[in-house]
Amino acid sequence: MSIIEETIEATLDSNGQLRLTRRPQLPPGPVRVTIRVAAAVRPQQRGLADVIREIAADQRSRGFPGRSAADLRAEDDARLAEDAERED
Q: What is the pLDDT of residues 29-75, one digit of tens each?
A: 999 989 888 876 666 788 899 899 999 888 988 888 888 899 999 99
Q: Is the whole model's pTM more than 0.75, yes or no?
A: no
Whether 18 maps to a domain, the answer reads no
Answer yes or no: is 66 within a domain. Answer: yes
Residues pairing with 18 in the sheet: 12
Q: Specify the pLDDT at position 84.
A: 92
* Rg, C-alpha atoms of the chain: 28
Host domain of residue 70: 48-81
Where residue 1 falls among pLDDT bands split at 50, 70, 90? low
Report the pLDDT value the prediction gives residue 40, as an integer from 0 to 100: 66
**What total number of domains does the chain contain?**
1
Task: Report, as an integer, the average pLDDT of 71-87.
Answer: 94
